[in-house]
Structure 1
Amino acid sequence: MPTPATPSTPATPSTPATPSTPVAPDTHRSARRRAVLVWFVLMAATALSWYLGDGHGARRAATVGVLVVAFLKVRLVGRHFMELSEAPRGLRLLFDGWVVAVCAVLVSMYLADSPG
């Protein structure tokens, strides 16, 4: 006895619906906590730069210290507030290399030009 015919369904590739993955509340808290911590570090670095620039310590060493602190702040802002920490590794390395190179050039220029 023949089997009854069943309606055929068209052969379409099934793509599972991917609902947007909600971000866990802990992730938001962690990101906020990290941003606040980086902000405090930036404020402390600003205070250190002000202290060094206000005549504390040897002038040349203080100036070099202020420059180095400034470029550490640039790196922190780039990594944490411009989201370079989530960027591809090559871009992060390029940015870090730029920070180091420009800082080194400025420090070298200052030390070469300032009297002993």
Structure 2
Amino acid sequence: MSPASPAIADRRSTLLWLALLAATALTWAIGEGHASGPAIAALLLAVAMAKGTVVVLDFMALARAPLLWRIVLLGWLALVCALIGLAYWKGMP
């Protein structure tokens, strides 16, 4: 490993953290704007899925973990998002 590697990793983590903050602010702004509808719900679930993927792969350091661990955690995340989407869709008038 080169001496610059930890600095690059720290910079990447910081940028990802800032992206997560921006995504959180975006979803908060959409929610406070009282926007609704299936397209908005799909957008919010997509943002949540993207945020969860970043957390699992980068902050939990599973990007280089065995494939089974990534499948389990990302599959769980996809299942939860799908069930929330299904509940929203079933509850629509």
Q: TM-score range by the shorter chain?
A: 0.7 to 0.9
Which residue in the other structure is 1:63 paired with? 41
| In the alignment, structure 1 residue 49 sits paired with structure 2 residue 27 | yes
Higher relative contact order (CA 8 A, sep 6+): 2
| In the alignment, structure 1 residue 86 sits paired with structure 2 residue 72 | no
Alignment RMSD: 1.7
- Aligned partner of residue 33 in structure 2, secondary structure: coil
* Deviation readout 1:7-32 (Å, 9 max, x if unpaired): xxxxxxxxxxxxxxxx4221101211
Cα distance in 2 for residues equivalent to 1:66 and 1:39: 18
Unaligned runs of 5+ in 1: 1-22
For the 8 Å contact 1:53–1:62, the answer to whether it is kept is no
| In the alignment, structure 1 residue 34 sits paired with structure 2 residue 26 | no
For the 8 Å contact 1:45–1:73, the answer to whether it is kept is yes
Cα distance in 2 for residues equivalent to 1:114 and 1:64: 13
- Aligned partner of residue 4 in structure 2, secondary structure: helix
Computing the radius of gyration from Cα coordinates, the structure with the larger value is 1
Q: How many residues of Structure 1 are paired with residues of Structure 2 in the alignment?
A: 92
* Deviation readout 1:53-77 (Å, 9 max, x if unpaired): 11254x1232332233222211111
Which residue in the other structure is 1:114 paired with? 92
Question: Equivalent pairs: percent with the same residue?
Answer: 38
